[in-house]
Structure 1
């Protein structure tokens, strides 16, 4: 295990030295969640809790639940909640997001209980990438295409009417994601993330509102690195936790 610092030390995170580790995807997702003070936040597929804990650090009056199916990662998420002094605001729910709703209820994940769901779902389809021999890394990265529909359906179930879903996804998965959101979510905002200003996007930040009929919006791209390979001022501020990524 290692203990790492995120957002300039505002979040401490114990995570496995090997396997899937929190990185820029988690930082970007937490920065794109919009106003969350006073909200109940659910972090789907929370792993060790990186995204949910960064949302908590950014929005001191929000409360929430870290939803994780792997018992070992859920135990680390509980440890990280305590490490960051958030036991009075955040809890860990050990639940399979893709299980039937009745099973999720038994685990404590109630319908209409959240105003915001944030998630970094495993977004590489099986067979499209070389899978890691590490089980944790494999589970964090690879999920069957049809499982994304169940993931989004579960988010819609947990969200209250008008609640928001914010996620990060792969670029070539946009068409499938939009099809999955259709009929459940509207007011969809898509913001491409570029490694440099002259390079194609490598990720998409997507925000959507449950039950809305507002049209889709394509937002300006967010650029991570300048010509020198270092973070742009905007990306540096996001990683320090002093700036957010607008999705409105």
Structure 2
């Protein structure tokens, strides 16, 4: 792994070493996903597609009674995740699994992705399927943004397998991919809650935050949006708090 200065996350509470600039690096999407669903005490939280561990480690830091499992198929990224867990004193509550989410079930299970592993699963899947856009010339960034094979439905098949019955799912995706997300979740999750994310109040949504419960039959809800910036370009009070590791995406949630 190339040596790099650690980024300071959550108001400096989390030190995160990431791949060099130019590769995929955790940013606002990871902040939002990590703050989406507060885990129950003692819960096992699985971060699928964890990269250097930003989402799962942020949850572990904010929720000291949970355990986290970080999943990535890239050995170099898994090494970053292990380094970050150790650097932040979270190794005792963190497991890093190198496994391909899109591999056949028997292979996934043998690699440690066992059924019913998690109470809460958080994921930021690749945004594009092969042939649907022009991938980045940077291999690491292309791998984070584009499925090498399979697609979102295959990714979600692994996620539902990893969750225990009635386990909770949280994901972030591009706003224009909402129909594909609903298709991939149909028949697998209920109690779906969709929250759009807007860069500014008068602009279209750029992301969606989706949560659901495995096996639930409860109806879908469309929730109020998250607004990231004021018209002047500053973080809104809510977005600033999330970046500092305070509160949750649901502004009525209990602060961490």
Q: What are the Cα deviations for residues 188-225 of structure 1, in whole angstroms up to 9, with x where unaligned?
A: 00000000000000000000100000010000011000
- Say yes or no: does 1:227 pair with 2:231: yes
Q: TM-score, normalised by structure 1?
A: 0.96
Structure 1 residue 25: deviation in Å?
A: 0.3
Contact (CA 8 Å) 1:2, 1:16: kept in 2 or not?
no
The one of 233, 238, 248 aligned to 2:242: 238
Task: Name which of 160, 163, 168 aligns with 1:164.
Answer: 168
User: CA 1:29–1:113 in 2, change beyond 3 Å: closer, same or farther?
Assistant: same
Q: Secondary structure in 1 aligned to 2:84?
A: helix
User: Which residue in 2 is equivalent to 1:3?
Assistant: 6
Q: Which of the residues 216, 222, 225 maps onto 1:218?
A: 222
Structure 1 consecutive aligned stretches of length 4 or more whose deviation exceeds 6 Å = none
Aligned to 2:198: 194
Deviation at 1:176, TM superposition (A): 1.3
Separation (CA, whole Å) in 2 of partners of 1:21 and 1:101: 29
Q: Which moved more, 1:117-126 or 1:207-216?
A: 117-126
| 8 Å Cα contact 1:29-1:118 kept in structure 2 | yes
Given candidates 150, 154, 158, the residue that maps to 1:150 is 154
| Structure 1 spans left out of the alignment, 5+ residues | none
Structure 2 gap ranges (5+): none
CA distance in 2, matches of 1:27, 1:180: 24
Tell me the equivalent position of 1:44. Answer: 48
The CA distance in 1 between the partners of 2:71 and 2:142, in whole Å, is: 18
Aligned twin of 2:69: 65
Which TM-score applies when normalising by structure 2? Answer: 0.93
Q: Distance in 1 between matches of 2:137 and 2:60?
A: 33
The residue number in structure 2 matching 1:120 is 124
Match of 1:14 in 2: 17
Q: How does 1:75-90 map to 2 (within 5 A)?
A: 75-90=79-94
After TM superposition, the structure 1 stretch with the greater mean CA deviation from structure 2, 121-130 or 154-163, is 121-130
Deviates more, 1:193-202 or 1:129-138: 129-138
- Does the residue aligned with 1:202 lie in a helix, a strand or coil? strand
Query: Secondary structure of 1:197's partner?
Result: coil
SS in structure 1 of the partner of residue 167 of structure 2: strand
> Which residue does 1:181 correspond to in 2?
185
Alpha-carbon deviation of 1:145? Answer: 8.9
Seen in structure 2, the aligned counterparts of structure 1 residues 4 and 129 have a Cα distance that, compared at 3 Å, is same
Q: Per the alignment, do residues 167 and 108 of structure 1 end up closer, same or farther by CA in structure 2, a change over 3 Å counting?
A: same
The C-alpha deviation readout for 1:100-148, integer Å capped at 9, x for no partner, is 1111111112110110110111112334433211111111111279511
Alpha-carbon displacement from aligned partner over 1:19-62 (angstroms, at most 9, x marks no partner): 00110000000010233432101100100100000111111110
